[in-house]
Structure 1
């Protein structure tokens, strides 16, 4: 969908990279270095590294990085390195390089985890068989929540992440944070004009009127979905690793549950469907079932669960509107912008309707 192309030679200077790997990651082997493009996007690219030993992957910004891409890659490296001694399913980080002289950008090297992820194509998320149908698909969400439980239970200070995010007043700052980012797009993306988002004002007003104080602090993945995790091949559903930690921070980890569950079926309102239509929610648990499972594993309760689902929906809408803006500015294909326009519009309208029903 992205239409992005990358020059492999421009992403990895083989002689320089080989010298660095020799010095810092001997576990990779000593053979001739072979690299391939595993994934390429607008914010980062992933290359496979093969020297005859265990395969690993290198993650770096693209040759022409967007603002903040280098910082995002280094933040990913920091959180993955900190998680290495924990039981949180994640790729092991083997080494980090901040020296731009090696391959032109900072990068890190991590484990190549075997598994599969949800694949977004034709505006729908497709799962690997047999997880594309009941009953196997049902277990995927529970497997993800199992990983989120382990993440929420990590003592972030004990693993050196006390300064990874601003914990104080985390929830109290969220609406201003994401509303401010949304308001910044017309200036950042010439050609994009602020547009009316049906339901946005209602959602923002509800969040401000129902603000919750920050009480629980932990590590947040920030972008948890079947497309950003790896599952083991074959049933039953088993989580191999959570990947793509670009939006990770320190705050209330139940926000991850709101992000994961916001578009799922609500037991009180069975007629409300997913806002974006990316998944067939009939083969997924209800958000209440997943929330109760999460609370049982973390010692939380369901009292504020609706709030976290609405806040997460507000956050994701404000963030992905940048795709609409980038397309308007000519940085992304028009069809990409239209896809995300529909997703943003549907999300705010659905959350506004949800608020009317629970009020």
Structure 2
């Protein structure tokens, strides 16, 4: 921090644990009134997390000066002799995360359902703005391989499933063949988050809702931004008037706009056509099922990973059913 010329030189540094897991740990750092956040892999994280951390840093750094709500880029360190792993410092966001609410929105969003549409529209707006970033001008020309993106999605994850396969999944053949036959012939490459949902954003305190930052860039790349849209909406209710719609997940969606309105808002802000949304919804469900299947196969006695089992089956079946019912012809 001193070498980077950050404030507070000579003052004691205080660290407060915020969150973490097997891939990353996050601490709030305070030094003489200067506050930031460190994101660093734990000691036992895979070796490639060091390069992954720097990849995340590049994205955050590239977002500076754009309209995308994000944490400020403070500094990065690739020298593992400093703390044992590569790490970066980002600005502290004085806001709240839906993942910290234990299924209950903070006020006024909990008791006043009329305030909730703002949360949803802000969520959609985040990736719409992200898709508009000039990634080449921001120095991310080598971040991903946009050419052949959809060819690799289907082929890569099919090979991945074949490696981990330990049981048959109903619908996987139907969904896979449909995706192979309906790959977009043309698309506009853009910066994408890769795991976009309420869990990976933060909001400013109070109302009306205002997105404070997109966070957790582990899956960030240059590809087809509409996959972020499909990922965000794959379990979003088509009709919010149906009894029970929007309930049952980690975020209570009651009072929020239905899927069509979310898609319309994304399209208006991003400028992208969304006529082929079914493809992205099917791809998202199919891909999620395969990713979670790996966790389920490694579950052992872990109840969280064990719970992935029925989720995998449901997601793959839904992907196949949507593929069989869609009128989208590519």
TM-score clears 0.5? yes
Residue 184 (str. 1) matches residue 163 (str. 2): yes
Contact 1:275 1:346 in 2 (8 A): no
Cα deviation 1:5-43 (Å, max 9, x = unaligned): xxxxxxxxxxxxxxxx11114135541011121111111
Counterpart in the other structure of 2:131? 152
Aligned residues: CA RMSD: 2.4
2:309 to 298, 316, 341: 341
Task: Map residues 78-157 of structure 1 onto 2, 5 A cutoff.
Answer: 78-119=58-99, 125-132=103-110, 134-157=113-136
Distance 1:51 1:253 in 2: 38
Distance 1:148 1:25, change over 3 A: farther
Distance 1:198 1:269 in 2: 30
Contact 2:245 2:254 in 1 (8 A): no
More divergent stretch after superposition (28-37 vs 209-218) = 28-37
Q: After TM superposition, give the deviation of residue 111 of structure 1 in Å.
A: 0.4
Q: After TM superposition, give the deviation of residue 276 of structure 1 in Å.
A: 7.1
Contact 1:214 1:252 in 2 (8 A): no
Counterpart in the other structure of 1:235? 207
Q: After TM superposition, give the deviation of residue 155 of structure 1 in Å.
A: 0.6
Counterpart in the other structure of 2:280? 308
Q: After TM superposition, give the deviation of residue 98 of structure 1 in Å.
A: 0.3
Cα deviation 1:228-247 (Å, max 9, x = unaligned): 10001111111000000100
Distance 1:262 1:67, change over 3 A: farther
The 4+ residue runs of structure 1 with deviation greater than 4 A are 267-276
Residue 326 (str. 1) matches residue 298 (str. 2): yes
Distance 1:354 1:160, change over 3 A: same
Distance 1:268 1:358 in 2: 21
Aligned residue for 1:283, secondary structure, equals: coil
Query: What 5-or-longer segments of structure 2 have no aligned partner?
Result: none
Aligned residue for 1:56, secondary structure, equals: strand
More divergent stretch after superposition (148-157 vs 347-356) = 347-356
Distance 2:10 2:215 in 1: 27
Residue 209 (str. 1) matches residue 197 (str. 2): no
Contact 1:276 1:346 in 2 (8 A): no
Distance 1:270 1:174, change over 3 A: farther
1:76 to 56, 81, 93: 56
More divergent stretch after superposition (85-94 vs 341-350) = 341-350
Report how many aligned residue pairs link the two structures: 326
Distance 1:347 1:272, change over 3 A: farther
Query: What 5-or-longer segments of structure 1 have no aligned partner?
Result: 1-20, 186-192
More divergent stretch after superposition (148-157 vs 241-250) = 148-157
Q: After TM superposition, give the deviation of residue 269 of structure 1 in Å.
A: 11
Contact 1:37 1:47 in 2 (8 A): yes
Distance 1:93 1:326, change over 3 A: farther
Aligned residue for 2:307, secondary structure, equals: helix
Contact 1:29 1:53 in 2 (8 A): no
